[in-house]
Amino acid sequence: MTAPAPPTPLIRISHLSKGYVRGGQAIPVLLDIDFDVMAGEFVALMGPSGSGKSTLLNLIAGIDKPSSGTIEIGGVDIAGLSEGQLADWRATNVGFIFQFYNLLPVLSAFDNVELPLLLTGLSARERQARVAAVLGLVGLSDRADHYPGELSGGQQQRVAIARALVTDPQLIVADEPTGDLDRATGEEVLGLLDQLVHALGKTIVMVTHDPKAAARAGRLVHLEKGVLVDAAPAAH
Amino acid sequence: MFLLKLLLKNAFRHKLRTTLTMVGLVVAICAFGLLRTIVDAWYAGVEGSSSTRLVTRSNISLTFPLPLNYAQRLRAVEGVRQVSWANWFGGVYITERNFFPQFAVDPATYLPLYPEYRLPDEQKLAFFRDRQGAVVGRKLADKFGWKLGDAIPLRGTIYPGTWTFTLRGIWDGAEARTDESQMLVHWGYINEAIRQRFKGRADAVGVYILGIDEPQNAATVGRRVDALFANSLAETMTETEAAFQLSFVSMSEAILVAVQAVSFIIVLIIMAVMANTMTMTARERLAEYATLKALGFSPGFVVRLLFGESLLIAALGGVAGLLLTLPLAALFRSAVGTLFPVFQVSGLTMALQLAAALGVGAVAAAWPAWKMSRIDIVAGLRHV
């Protein structure tokens, strides 16, 4: 009898560097980062402003390109993908949760959640069923026809979470998901993220400044001046 | 379908802004259409010309008359089917502001050359019988409220004295472009009176109108006519009716060019205004376009979204402008009276109005669409 194969990480980052050139001067943002995230993990990226945590999240989400190194997600080196390939990859593999929700104000909650499904080959009926299911999951079935302007901040963030979930991606990236919410609402949203990890097995990488929010994650990753300084389990 | 829904909602997101942009477009497209129609009206005489009619006039100038006896010789020219003549009468009805063209013609030969003047037979007959009679176009009759039997006094400028004509007929144009703003009187009556008062001025013809058998023979017949009178005391110049009319239009060509230039400048101005609106709109929605791209929508989707919105606003403004042009043109037509014999918004003008509106929409969206399609997602998401 052979031993079961060790679980492979969902995200495998090696020798990742990112820098910008401003006014002819090279500004390093991330320096030689090596970092893995297992499937089903909830990772919080923390660090002071300018530490590179958002840049790292953007690179993992495939909305930015590294200067060097590799980012393998689900076995695909997304650093080597073209813009078009990256767009297709994001559509099926990543769910986004932003600090300011980034919902389209002219679309209802239902339509906002349906957006990512328009890039799939699903029929209208299938899309409707999926949107109804995820809105139910975030507790907003009765607000499907409401526009973002008619919803509270917490409700808008829950719509954004439903939108991130609707294509059933393995990876969800969240950039300060509670940054614009009060404490109680933030707690609700974090509870929902917890649920995604534990009940649905999603992998979440979250950037946060809030130690309480970070404490909900399974692992904390600290960045300072573009360097990974600590990757410890979160203290629950 | 989703694209249409989103662009419709986006287009009317800022109702005031969209409405003001559309009002600007409506005004511009309307002004463009009206100015083009004015230019068309100037050319209406040319457009309404028959290809089977030639005009023979003095080779020196239109103000120099030709002898009446040329008529007989013209009839003998090969290719000439009919011959008639006309003199510019130049009378004033009450005041100079009531200007309208009057021609002294030989009715029996003139009217058959102009079948587009639809005159009832009994009115035609009444005109033929009454040497002091006159016929007018419907538009002219309507303008002054003339009825059959009315006496129309004209103060002569070329032919001195007061001439009173009795209205014997009112013609309707066979087509919309047919001139209905003229008055025709008997050349014979005028000539007789002139002979009595100014003997030397009698039997003089302003222009001869020749009906030819085939339009393609126009140049040949014209050359034959002019050759016939070459080296005579009154040499002729024969040209097609269209060329004859065009010679009048060319006198005011500079004005027409200016009017056309203004019509295009108006479109350019609204293009700049709308481009500014679309650029502002795109900038405001930077984060939304970045979000769409982050979710996996292609840059092409963003381009279609912006172009669609701009074209939708432009099309709505264009159609509204086009629809408004028609009643405004009618209003203008009634206001200017017989100044323009034909004042009609042509199909080509309407098509150009729509094309101009869509062109404005497309050009206005080009820069913001290009810019937004290339937007860096990370930078765009930071824009809240």
A19/A17 Cα distance (integer angstroms): 7
pLDDT in the model for residue B51: 82
pLDDT in the model for residue A95: 95
Residues of A in contact with B377 (CB under 8 A): 58, 63-64
Q: A22-44: per-residue pLDDT in tens?
A: 888 888 999 999 989 999 999 99
pLDDT in the model for residue A236: 47
Nearest-CA distance from A144 to chain B in Å?
Answer: 17
Structure tokens of B350?
């309407």
Q: Which long-range contacts (CB under 8 A, 24 or more apart) does B328-331 make?
A: B328/B30, B328/B34, B329/B33, B329/B34, B329/B37
Residue A4 lies in a domain: no
Residue identified by tokens 């024969």 is: B238
> Which member of B10, B295, B378 has the closest CB to residue A64?
B378
Q: How many CB pairs under 8 A join A and B?
A: 55
Ordered DSSP codes for A59-122: HHHTSS--SEEEEEETTEEGGG--HHHHHHHHHHHEEEE-TT----TTS-HHHHHHGGGGGS--
How many Cα atoms are found within 13 Å in the side-chain-facing hemisphere of B72? 3
Classify burial at A180, counting beta carbons within 10 Å of its beta carbon; exposed 0-12, middle 13-18, buried 19 or more. middle
A120 and chain B: CB distance < 8 Å anywhere? no
Residues of B in contact with A102 (CB under 8 A): 287-288, 291, 381
A20 and chain B: CB distance < 8 Å anywhere? no
Say if CB B318 and CB B29 are below 8 A apart. yes
Residue A3 lies in a domain: no
Inter-chain residue contact A102 with B292, CB threshold 8 Å: no
Residue identified by tokens 């031993």 is: A3
pLDDT in the model for residue A181: 87
A33/A25 Cα distance (integer angstroms): 22
B153/B317 Cα distance (integer angstroms): 48
Inter-chain residue contact B296 with A104, CB threshold 8 Å: no
> Which member of A96, A104, A106 has the closest CB to residue B294?
A96
Residue identified by tokens 């701009």 is: B310
> Which member of A87, A102, A119 has the closest CB to residue B291?
A102
Residues of B in contact with A107 (CB under 8 A): 6, 9
B251/B42 Cα distance (integer angstroms): 11
- Of A87, A119, A114, whose CA–CA distance to A103 is shortest? A114
Q: Domain of A156: which CATH number?
A: 3.40.50.300
Q: B95-126: per-residue pLDDT in tens?
A: 998 989 999 999 999 999 999 999 999 999 99
* Residues above pLDDT 90, as percent of chain A: 72
**Mean pLDDT, to the nearest integer, of A219-230?**
89
Domain membership of residue A65 as a residue range: 9-233
* Number of domains within chain A: 1
Q: A125-164: per-residue pLDDT in tens?
A: 999 999 999 999 999 999 999 999 999 999 999 999 999 9
> Which member of B9, B291, B295 has the closest CB to residue A91?
B295
Q: Which helix (H) or strand (E) holds B189?
A: helix B187-197
Looking at residue A166, the DSSP 8-state letter turns out to be T
- CA dihedral (A167, A170, A173, A178) positive or negative: positive
Inter-chain residue contact B381 with A98, CB threshold 8 Å: yes
Say if CB B166 and CB B150 are below 8 A apart. yes
Inter-chain residue contact A58 with B288, CB threshold 8 Å: no
A98 and chain B: CB distance < 8 Å anywhere? yes
Torsion of CA B370, B372, B374, B375, to 10 degrees: 160
Q: Per this entry, what is the length of chain A?
A: 236
Structure tokens of A24?
């002819």
pLDDT in the model for residue A5: 58
Inter-chain residue contact A116 with B6, CB threshold 8 Å: no
Looking at residue A235, the DSSP 8-state letter turns out to be -
Distances B271 to B29, B307, B360, B366 between C-alpha atoms, Å: 11, 14, 5, 11
Looking at residue B82, the DSSP 8-state letter turns out to be E
Split at pLDDT 50, 70, 90, the class of A113 is very high
B112/A4 Cα distance (integer angstroms): 107
Instruction: Give the chain B residue nearest A62 (alpha carbons).
Output: B294
A104 and chain B: CB distance < 8 Å anywhere? yes
Structure tokens of A35?
């970092």
> Which member of B288, B296, B299 has the closest CB to residue A90?
B296
How many Cα atoms are found within 13 Å in the side-chain-facing hemisphere of B301? 20
Cα–chain-centroid distance for residue A75?
A: 18
Residue A203 lies in a domain: yes
Using DSSP bridges, classify how beta strands A76-77 and A94-97 pair: parallel, antiparallel or unpaired. Answer: unpaired
Question: H-type helices in chain A, by residue range?
Answer: 53-61, 83-93, 109-114, 124-137, 153-165, 183-200, 211-214
Classify burial at B45, counting beta carbons within 10 Å of its beta carbon; exposed 0-12, middle 13-18, buried 19 or more. buried
**Mean pLDDT, to the nearest integer, of A49-53?**
90
Looking at residue B153, the DSSP 8-state letter turns out to be E
Spell out, as residue ranges, where chain B has pLDDT lower than 50: none
- b/e map A22-40, b = 16+ CB within 10 Å: eeeeeeebbbebebebeeb
Residue A1 lies in a domain: no
Split at pLDDT 50, 70, 90, the class of A232 is low
Split at pLDDT 50, 70, 90, the class of A206 is very high
Say if CB A205 and CB A45 are below 8 A apart. yes
**What SS3 state is found at A171?**
strand
Q: Round to the nearest angstrom and report the end-to-end CA distance of chain A.
A: 37
Q: What is the ipTM of this complex?
A: 0.91
Distances B328 to B33, B333, B335 between C-alpha atoms, Å: 10, 8, 10
A43/A216 Cα distance (integer angstroms): 9
How many Cα atoms are found within 13 Å in the side-chain-facing hemisphere of A166? 33
Split at pLDDT 50, 70, 90, the class of A234 is low
